[in-house]
Amino acid sequence: MIDKLFYKTLMKKTFSDPVQITFWDGETVQYGDGEPRFKLIFHDVLSKSLLIQDPSMAFGEAYMNGIIEVEGSIKEIAASIYRSSEGFLGKGQFAAQLVKKLTNTTRRSKENISFHYDIGNDFYKLWLDETMTYSCAYFINPEDSLTTAQQNKVDHILKKLNLQEGQTLLDIGCGWGELILTAAKRYGAKATGITLSEEQFASVQERIQQERLSDLVDVQLIDYREIKEQQFDRVVSVGMLEHVGKDHLPEYFKEVNDLLKEGGLSVLHSITSPREGASNSWIEKYIFPGGYIPSVRELVNELADKSFYLIDYESMRRHYAKTLDIWADNFESVLDKVRQKKEERFIRMWRLYLNACSASFQTGNIDLSQFIFTKGISDTLPWTRQYMY
C-alpha cells in the first residue's frame, strides 16, 4: 500500500507559493492560501527511497520521463522551491548533495566536456546568439539584445584584462572563439584558445580562416594541463572552472601561475556558490558530469595560497538569470527544429536545466563571479576602475 501521507506531507513544505497538486489517483490538493501560481500533475508514484536519498534526482528524472507534468512556469516553480525555507529542496539545497570523489584526469575531462558540448554545433546555433557565446551575458541596458549583451561581456572582460597591442593571451576553455577573435581584432593581441570540444575546435578553426586572423589567433584541442614551456601576458577563463572539479582547484591555480609571466594578469569568470560543497546530482549526471560549483571563499583561499594578488571582484548574478531566461525562450521558440534532432526526453531535460538554473541565480542559490588577479605586483593597471567601464 502506498503511503500517500508521506507524499502529501512532503509537498506541503516544498513550495513557498500557493500550488495545486493532482496526485496519481486523481485527488487534487492545494497548498498555500490564494490563487495557485502553478499546478503539478503526478501521473505515477515517485520512488520514496530516491526522494529521501536524492530529491533533486527524483524530481529531475520524474519530469524528464513525463511522470510529472507542469502547468505554469517551470522557472517560477523552481524559484518557489528554492525560496522555501522548510522544504527539503529549499534554499541552499542546490549545494546540499554530497560531492563525489571524482578524478578529472585529462582523459576524463575530455569525455566530460564532449558529453555536453559535442552534441552538435547545429543544436547550439538554434538558440544561442549569433556570436555563439555560451556563458553569462552582460546587460548594460535592460533592452540590450542577447547578441549585444554577449558582445558587452566580451568587451567587459577584455577591458579588465587591460590588453595592450602585441601582448599574448591564453583563453582556457575558449568556446566558439568570440573572445580570442575580438582580442586580436580590437587590441592586436596574440591570442591562443584551448578547448576539449572537437566541435568547438573545428568551428573556431573555420572562423580564424574566414576572418583571416591566423597570424594573431591560434586554437588548440588540448587540456590546459598539457601546455608546456609557454607563458602568457594574460590568462582568461570564462565558464570553464566549473568543469575542473573540487579536488582539482589547487591544480588549476598552480597551472595558471605557471602559465602567467611575472606581473601578468588573469581574469576568472565562474559560477560560484555561497557555501562550500556545491553539487547537484541531477546536473552532474545529465548536464555537466564531473562539474563542481566552488564557493567564493574557496577561490579566494586558492588565490592566496598561490600568492596571487586579488585586484577586483564583481558579482553578475542577475545578468546570468536574464541570460538563461533568453536562452530558455529561444529554446522554446525553436522546438520544431529541436525535435528534428532530439527526442522528447532530451527536450524536457534541457527545458528543466535552463529554467532551474535561471531560478537558482534569481534566488541567490548560486552566483556568477569575476575575479581579477595578478602574478606578483603589477603597477601597470590604471589607478581607478574607470578603465573597466
Tell me how far apart the alpha carbons of residues 295 and 275 are, in angstroms, rounded to a whole number. Answer: 5
The residue whose grid cell reads 584551448 is 194
Output the nine-digit C-alpha cell for 19.
500550488
State the Cα angle at 320 between 170 and 120, rounded to 5°.
Answer: 65
Q: Note if 136 is an active site residue.
A: no
Tell me how far apart the alpha carbons of residues 297 and 118 are, in angstroms, rounded to a whole number. Answer: 32
Picking from 144, 64, 151, the residue whose alpha carbon sits closest to that of residue 351 is: 64
Q: Which residue in 196, 216, 287, 357 is the catalytic one?
A: 357
Q: How far apart, in Å, are the Cα atoms of 29 and each of 33, 52, 81, 252, 288?
A: 12, 22, 17, 50, 35
Q: What is the DSSP string of 227-279?
A: --S--EEEEEEES-GGGT-GGGHHHHHHHHHHHEEEEEEEEEEEEEBSSS-B-
**CB neighbour list of residue 91: distance below 8 Å, 6 or more residues apart:** 82, 83, 84, 85, 363, 365
The DSSP 8-state label assigned to residue 320 in this structure reads: H
> 185: which strand partners?
none
The DSSP 8-state label assigned to residue 18 in this structure reads: -
Residues marked as catalytic: 357
